[in-house]
C-alpha cells in the first residue's frame, strides 16, 4: 500500500507543499537581506558564519595549579588620562588592512602578563608585578624578603642594561632565577598563604580586559601569555574571569611553574622564563602558528617575544610607564602603538574586532566600552585607520 499520497490525485497536498516550500524560500531570502540588522538581536555566537576555531598546539598546553578562589577581584576603571600615540599611521594602516584581508583565521595574540594585563596603579597605590607582590608581603619571613631584595638589587641592573651582551645577560638572569627558586622552596609557602598575599595586594586587571578575554574565548582565538610571574598566582587571577584550562582550549600560559605537595606546600619553582628567554617559549619549530600577530607588552624587551613567531604582520601595543616618557622616540622604532596613562583594553578589542570583520558579533565591544570608543577623542586617529 502506498503510504505517500499520489500528488496528481491530491492537488490540495501539492498546493500545501508549494506553500510550505515557498514560505521557507521567502524566509531565507529575508534573513539574507536583513542579516546585518538582525545581528544585534541574535545571541552571541549565532551570527558567526564560521564555527569557533579548532584547538591547536594542544601538545604545548600546560596544566597549572591555582591557589584557590580569588574573591576580592579588582578591575580598573577607565583612566581619563589615557593617551594613544601611533608611531607611523601609514605603516599601521597597511598592516591592519593586510590583517583584515586575511581575517580572524590567520590571527593570534601574544602578550606579557604583569602590568600588561594587570594595571600600573597610581603613585599612592602602585601595583607591582606578582613576584614583587610576594617579595614585599607581610605573609613571608623577614629573611625571605631580605634575600629576594638582595637578589633584585644585584641582578636588576643587568636586566635593564641594554648594552650588555645577550649571552652574558642570560647567564646573570639564570643566576637570579636559581636564587629566587631556592628561596621560594625554603620558605615553604602554601597555597592559602599565596592566596592571602593576592587578596591583600592592590593588583587589578586593566579596564575591559575581562570582556576582551571572554570575547576571545568565544571564538577560541589562539592567545599566548608569556610571563616571568608564578603560574599559581597567574592562574588564580585568570580563573576569576573564566577557567582558561577548561573553557578556552587555545589559551596558553607560559610562566615560572609552581609545584605543590599533598599538603599544598610549594616544593618546586621551576624558573624557566626571564626577559632573555621569553622569545623561546613560542616558536615556529614547536608550534603551528598563524601569519598575523597582535603583541602586547609594558617593557621595551617585550617586543622580542615575537622573534620566533615568523609573523608576516605584527601590530605591537605598548603600555607606557611614566618613567619611560623620555624614551618614546626610541620606543616608536619598534612599537606601533604606545598607550600612556593606566591604559585599557578598549583599543585592543576594537582592533581585534576590525580585523575579524563585522560578522563576528562575538568580539563586539560592550555597550559601555563601545560608547567610550565612539565618543572619546583619544580614539579618533585609530578610527581613521579603520576607514
Ordered per-residue pLDDT tens for the chain, 387 residues: 444 444 444 454 455 555 555 666 566 555 545 544 444 444 344 344 444 589 999 999 999 999 999 999 999 999 999 999 999 999 999 999 999 999 999 999 999 999 999 999 987 788 889 998 998 899 999 999 999 999 999 998 988 787 788 789 889 999 999 999 999 999 999 999 999 999 999 999 999 999 999 999 999 999 999 999 999 999 999 999 999 999 999 999 999 999 999 999 999 999 989 877 888 899 999 999 999 999 999 998 899 999 999 999 999 999 999 888 999 999 999 999 999 999 999 999 999 999 999 778 889 999 999 999 999 999 999 999 998
Query: What per-residue confidence (pLDDT) applies to 256?
Result: 95
The pLDDT, as a whole number, for residue 166 is 79
| Domain ranges, ordered by start, for the chain | 58-125+205-386
Domain 58-125+205-386, architecture per CATH: 3-Layer(aba) Sandwich (3.40)
Q: What are residue 139's phi and psi, to 5 degrees?
A: -85, 0
Amino acid 37: pLDDT: 46
- Residue 348 near residue 36 (C-beta atoms within 8 A): no
C-alpha of 3 from chain center: 60
Give the CA distances from residue 242 to residues 82, 191, 196, 327, 332, in Å, rounded to whole numbers and listed in that order: 27, 20, 20, 36, 34
pLDDT score, position 22: 60
**Structure confidence at residue 110 (pLDDT):** 98
Q: In the structure grid, which three cell numbers stand for residue 1, read together?
A: 500500500
Per-residue confidence (pLDDT) for residue 41, from 0 to 100:
40
Amino acid at each position: 500500500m502506498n503510504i505517500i499520497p499520489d500528488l496528481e490525485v491530491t492537488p490540495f497536498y501539492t498546493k500545501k507543499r508549494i506553500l510550505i516550500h515557498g514560505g521557507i524560500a521567502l524566509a531565507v531570502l529575508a534573513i539574507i537581506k536583513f542579516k546585518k540588522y538582525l545581528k544585534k538581536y541574535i545571541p552571541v555566537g549565532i551570527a558567526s558564519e564560521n564555527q569557533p576555531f579548532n584547538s591547536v598546539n594542544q601538545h604545548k598546553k600546560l596544566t597549572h595549579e591555582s591557589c584557590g578562589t580569588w574573591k576580592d577581584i579588582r578591575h580598573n576603571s577607565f583612566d581619563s588620562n589615557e593617551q594613544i600615540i601611533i608611531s607611523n599611521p601609514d605603516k599601521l594602516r597597511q598592516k591592519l588592512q593586510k590583517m583584515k584581508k586575511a581575517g580572524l583565521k590567520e590571527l593570534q595574540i601574544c602578550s606579557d602578563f604583569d602590568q600588561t594585563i594587570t594595571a600600573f596603579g597610581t603613585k599612592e597605590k602602585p601595583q607591582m608585578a606578582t613576584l614583587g607582590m610576594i617579595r614585599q608581603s607581610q605573609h613571608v619571613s623577614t629573611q625571605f624578603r631580605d634575600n629576594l631584595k638582595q637578589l633584585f638589587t644585584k641582578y636588576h641592573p643587568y636586566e635593564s642594561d641594554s648594552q650588555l651582551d645577550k649571552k652574558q645577560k642570560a647567564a646573570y638572569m639564570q643566576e637570579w632565577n636559581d636564587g629566587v627558586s631556592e628561596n621560594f622552596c625554603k620558605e615553604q609557602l602554601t597555597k592559602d598563604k599565596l592566596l592571602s598575599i593576592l587578596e591583600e595586594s592592590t593588583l587589578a586587571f586593566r579596564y575591559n580586559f575581562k570582556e576582551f578575554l571572554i570575547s576571545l574565548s568565544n571564538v577560541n582565538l589562539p592567545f599566548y601569555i608569556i610571563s616571568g610571574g608564578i603560574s599559581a598566582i597567574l592562574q588564580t587571577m585568570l580563573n576569576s574571569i573564566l577557567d582558561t584550562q577548561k573553557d578556552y582550549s587555545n589559551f596558553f600560559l607560559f610562566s615560572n611553574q609552581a609545584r605543590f605537595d599533598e599538603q599544598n606546600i610549594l616544593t618546586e619553582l621551576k624558573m624557566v622564563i626571564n626577559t632573555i628567554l621569553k622569545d623561546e617559549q613560542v616558536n615556529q619549530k614547536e608550534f603551528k602558528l598563524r601569519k598575523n600577530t597582535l603583541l602586547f607588552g609594558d617593557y621595551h624587551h617585550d617586543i622580542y617575544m615575537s622573534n620566533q613567531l615568523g609573523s608576516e604582520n605584527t601590530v605591537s601595543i605598548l603600555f607606557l610607564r611614566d618613567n619611560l616618557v623620555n624614551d618614546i622616540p626610541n620606543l616608536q622604532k619598534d612599537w606601533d602603538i604606545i598607550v600612556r596613562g593606566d591604559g585599557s583594553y578598549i583599543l585592543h578589542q576594537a582592533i581585534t574586532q576590525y580585523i575579524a570583520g563585522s560578522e563576528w558579533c562575538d568580539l563586539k565591544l560592550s555597550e559601555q566600552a563601545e560608547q567610550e570608543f565612539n565618543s572619546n577623542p583619544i580614539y579618533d586617529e585609530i578610527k581613521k585607520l579603520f576607514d
